[in-house]
Structure 1
Amino acid sequence: MGKRMIRMFDTTLRDGEQAPGNAMTPEQKLEIALMLEEAGVNTIETGFPASSRADFLATQMISEHLTTASFSTFSRAQVKDVKTAIEAGGVSDRHIVMLAATGSDLHLKNKRNITREQGIAEVTEAVAYAKEQGIANITVGIEDASRGAYDYIGAITKASIEAGANQIILADTTGFATPASFGDLVRFVREVAGPAIKISVHCHNDLGLGVANAIAGVQAGADEIQATLGGIGERAGNTSLEQVAALLYYKSDEYGLETSVQLDKLYEGYLLLSEVIQLEESRTQPLFGKYVFSTAAGMHQQGMLNDPDTYEYVKPRDLGRDRSLLVTRHSGRTIIRHLLHDLGVSHSDEDVNHLYDKFIFKQHSSLCDDLVTFREKIMQELQHQTAEVGVS
């Protein structure tokens, strides 16, 4: 049996941008969108056109320049929002109009102050309007679906499809769900919606389960994962695009799933995003952290020098990154022997011990040299020793 293709929907430019400090200009959004398209992302969300002139312009620019990826606009379940989104993105098979539905009683009462019936009515009206305008791809995103009652989620799903929607998004808006509960929700909606309707999952990372919940969703029958580059987004962020793509790459046979995303092209986009929004560099963020492909402990370095697989399952080359060995106070004598051998210098245990004591053991805990820097230190020390021998 062949693998099932999971579509990747990027919401960096909309949900990711909503978080504090993440604002982007339309021109910056376009540049990032083109890099995401080049990396094989299927759909790119441009923004919320009715919210600002900047998002309206970004939608116009991105829709005009994308050639292979589709694009999506975000709207509230209001006809006026849908009208603005269509004005910005136009009517085409590549324009996905996404409407946000209120999915939990908590949100209906305390955020919207409307009834379930009113929530369903506004969605069906907005969907019907989009269909009347000739939009072929209409998505209803059910906000806070993970905390919604099944009977209400089922009613929104049925009403949306009857009005003309061909895709349902289930959002774990507050990071409330667990993989088990989210999988159950997806299975329920799949049964209600039937096989012809696409189901997308949109998860947040408040409990660190954004990726796990998204994977549970597609295992339960969802067709698409919504994610952001670097996992940026409200509060603790969204499902990480690169982490999901890497997981489905490395575990493709195990899950029977695959994506069109090219892993080695995501890091370049992340660097651009980080520059644009001045994102602080993490040391340990999976895949993109500063030191995630670096090794400093002596025991680990000994294994890595013998065979990188000893401490490396995810390969840096697959992410367009490089492996590095760093010299810190936790490094051992193995790294010194390695460099001496690399330099073609014959040495005794006494020589190695001398270099270890001088450059590692007696150094301050802040020591952190790359191999090029540490190699230069050893070369200078060897030259100094040679000069002393010559003088004597």
Structure 2
Amino acid sequence: MTSASKDRVVIFDTTLRDGEQCPGATMTLEEKLQVADLLDEMGVDIIEAGFPIASNGDFEAVSLIAERVKNAVVAGLARAAFGDIDRAGEAVKKARRPRIHTFLSTSPVHMKHKLQKSPEEVLEMVIAQVKRARNLVDDVEWSAEDGTRTEHDFLCRCVEEAIKAGATTINIPDTVGYSAPDEYRSLFRMVRERVPNSDKAIFSVHCHNDLGMAVANSIAGVEGGARQIECTINGIGERAGNAALEEIVMAIKTRNDIFPFECGVKNEMLMRASRVVSAVTSFPVQYNKAIVGRNAFAHESGIHQDGMLKNTQTYEIMTPESVGVSKTSLVMGKHSGRNAFRDKLQTLGYSLSDNQIQDAFVRFKELADRKKEIFDEDIESLVDENLAGARDRMKVLSLLVVAGTIKEQIATLTLDIDGAHRTVQSTGNGPVDATFNAIKALAPHDAVLELYQVHAVTAGTDAQAEVSVRLTADSRTFTGKGADPDTLVASAKAYLSALNKLMARGDRLHAQAAE
């Protein structure tokens, strides 16, 4: 490893694997391909495309991503079982640069209660699994699951044997978000000093955010000698999530004076990536989220505004343009033309076809006739909804609801189902219940409603309502979002969004069974 390469930090994105394991974040095949293409375009070094043994759908997604990715390494995850490793090797074999990422628990609590194996048995499994993977691909990553709670002597033994067996990358993850920066930094220094063949592999960090220190721990691990960071867009992932890719990239680029490392991610694409992942997972980004949150470059305080007018550096340590946010804001309304609308879409990071722009423009005009002021969030909401619903089997054509204190709540709903228009009238305990009962009457299903949530996209009584719905069926969760100035229409759209995902999965399962 040259002195120049030592300062290069490799970005390993696991949005499509660890990120998708987050409850409710399941993506369709088309959505996974869209995210993979974007990650490759923005310069991510390694894309962990999925867990091939988990399902036929995951295997198919990893295989297709492996075929189409042009620059990045494509990795498939595998447990210590040979069947897992062989399946991962089969999934990534057509990649230009394939990798198998295999892992095994090494902490006392995991070995005793999860694996029910002795340390010696685990060590033998480490050697066997790495050798098996190395017979299939030249690039093998081995992870010591729950590494931060592993006894140091045993961790060093496992790392040494994994490298001897052929591992090219060694990941010591903070699987449960337990570690702190000084502790994690010292752990990497200790392992690299004590393991005699440590110079033969790249060390990697993988931090969860259970104590809110995932990004800080990741940077600390790099200071300790790691040169690969595993992270996700928007920090999505199991439990409290993973280290956020956008925060890591901008920490390195903004404070390069104290973090003298390099990474190849195009930071101008960070906001675009955040919006795409938020749209396909139906996971909103919190307003005060670092780098990509709605308020990250917003200033309301009079003191702050005065400082910003005099010099932007008074309250901004990075420019909005550096992460893909434009300072210029066109005021959009019903008198705006198509060219101004197209420019606004480009400013917001969308790249749409002419037909998609026309469809979005028609919906924008309809919204502008009902709403006094159009905000960027309104446009994002209607475009994201239009993109998500382009391939849906069911769409809302019309909804009429009778509600109040006197009459029974009645919903009359017309849906487009596979091109056919169907209408039904249903009652319920309130207008939302009546609306959802109408959908069930037109599209019978056994899914359970786990979440119904409403919030206003912007301020004002004419604000669009954005509704999130979560349905559960057969132990799988499907989340949908819908937006409309009418809360009930937004509710129907959100319910159908989740239901379309559920039915799309059912169609794939039926097709696989038929094959």
TM-score range for the pair, normalised by the shorter chain length: 0.7 to 0.9
Secondary structure (helix, strand or coil) at the match of 1:273 reads helix
**Equivalent residue for 2:22?**
19
Alignment RMSD (CA, Å): 1.8
1:224-243 Cα distance to aligned partner (Å, 9 max, x none) = 00000000011111011000
Question: Which of the residues 215, 222, 226 maps onto 1:218?
Answer: 222
**Residues 73 and 95 in structure 2, CA contact (< 8 A), matched pair in contact too:** no
What TM-score comes out, normalization by structure 2 length? 0.61
The 5 Å alignment of 1:366-377 reads: none
Measured after TM superposition, the shift of residue 324 of structure 1 is 8.0
Q: Distance between the aligned counterparts of 2:133 and 2:77, measured in 1? A: 13
Q: Which amino acid aligns with 2:220?
A: A
Q: Which moved more, 1:1-10 or 1:309-318?
A: 1-10
Q: Which ranges of 4 or more aligned residues in structure 1 deviate by more than 4 Å? A: none
**Residues 293 and 324 in structure 1, CA contact (< 8 A), matched pair in contact too:** no
1:343-362 Cα distance to aligned partner (Å, 9 max, x none) = xxxxxxxxxxxxxxxxxxxx
**Is 1:284 equivalent to 2:276 in the alignment?**
no
**Residues 229 and 240 in structure 1, CA contact (< 8 A), matched pair in contact too:** yes
**Equivalent residue for 2:179?**
177
Gaps of 5+ in 2: 330-457, 461-515
Q: Distance between the aligned counterparts of 1:248 and 1:223, measured in 2? A: 13
Q: Distance between the aligned counterparts of 1:62 and 1:106, measured in 2? A: 36
Question: Which of the residues 158, 167, 179 maps onto 2:160?
Answer: 158
Q: Distance between the aligned counterparts of 1:38 and 1:4, measured in 2? A: 22
Secondary structure (helix, strand or coil) at the match of 1:158 reads helix
**Is 1:258 equivalent to 2:262 in the alignment?**
yes
Q: Distance between the aligned counterparts of 1:289 and 1:316, measured in 2? A: 11
1:213-260 Cα distance to aligned partner (Å, 9 max, x none) = 000111111010000000001111101100000011111232221110
Measured after TM superposition, the shift of residue 161 of structure 1 is 1.4
Gaps of 5+ in 1: 326-366, 370-392
**Is 1:37 equivalent to 2:40 in the alignment?**
yes
**Residues 144 and 171 in structure 2, CA contact (< 8 A), matched pair in contact too:** yes
**Equivalent residue for 2:123?**
120
Measured after TM superposition, the shift of residue 93 of structure 1 is 6.4
Secondary structure (helix, strand or coil) at the match of 2:33 reads helix
**Residues 26 and 61 in structure 1, CA contact (< 8 A), matched pair in contact too:** no
Question: Which of the residues 62, 66, 69 maps onto 2:69?
Answer: 66
Q: Which amino acid aligns with 1:286?
A: A
Secondary structure (helix, strand or coil) at the match of 1:185 reads helix
The 5 Å alignment of 1:1-392 reads: 4-90=7-93, 94-133=97-136, 135-191=137-193, 192=195, 193-323=197-327
Secondary structure (helix, strand or coil) at the match of 1:141 reads strand
Secondary structure (helix, strand or coil) at the match of 1:253 reads coil
Measured after TM superposition, the shift of residue 280 of structure 1 is 2.0
Q: Distance between the aligned counterparts of 2:95 and 2:324, measured in 1? A: 35
Q: Which amino acid aligns with 1:296?
A: E
Structure with higher Rg: it is: 1
**Residues 63 and 71 in structure 1, CA contact (< 8 A), matched pair in contact too:** yes
Secondary structure (helix, strand or coil) at the match of 2:172 reads strand
Q: Distance between the aligned counterparts of 1:284 and 1:25, measured in 2? A: 28
Secondary structure (helix, strand or coil) at the match of 2:48 reads strand
**Residues 49 and 73 in structure 1, CA contact (< 8 A), matched pair in contact too:** yes
Secondary structure (helix, strand or coil) at the match of 2:12 reads strand
Give me the identity figure in percent: 36
1:1-47 Cα distance to aligned partner (Å, 9 max, x none) = 86811000000000011010111122211110110111110000011
Q: Which moved more, 1:84-93 or 1:171-180?
A: 84-93
Q: Which amino acid aligns with 1:293?
A: F
Q: Distance between the aligned counterparts of 1:6 and 1:228, measured in 2? A: 15
**Residues 66 and 94 in structure 2, CA contact (< 8 A), matched pair in contact too:** no
Q: Distance between the aligned counterparts of 1:368 and 1:51, measured in 2? A: 43
Q: Distance between the aligned counterparts of 1:237 and 1:106, measured in 2? A: 22
Q: Distance between the aligned counterparts of 1:30 and 1:40, measured in 2? A: 16
Measured after TM superposition, the shift of residue 211 of structure 1 is 0.6
What TM-score comes out, normalization by structure 1 length? 0.80
Q: Which amino acid aligns with 2:147?
A: A
**Residues 38 and 265 in structure 1, CA contact (< 8 A), matched pair in contact too:** no
Q: Distance between the aligned counterparts of 2:246 and 2:110, measured in 1? A: 31
The structure that is helix-richer by fraction is: 1
Q: Which amino acid aligns with 1:237?
A: G
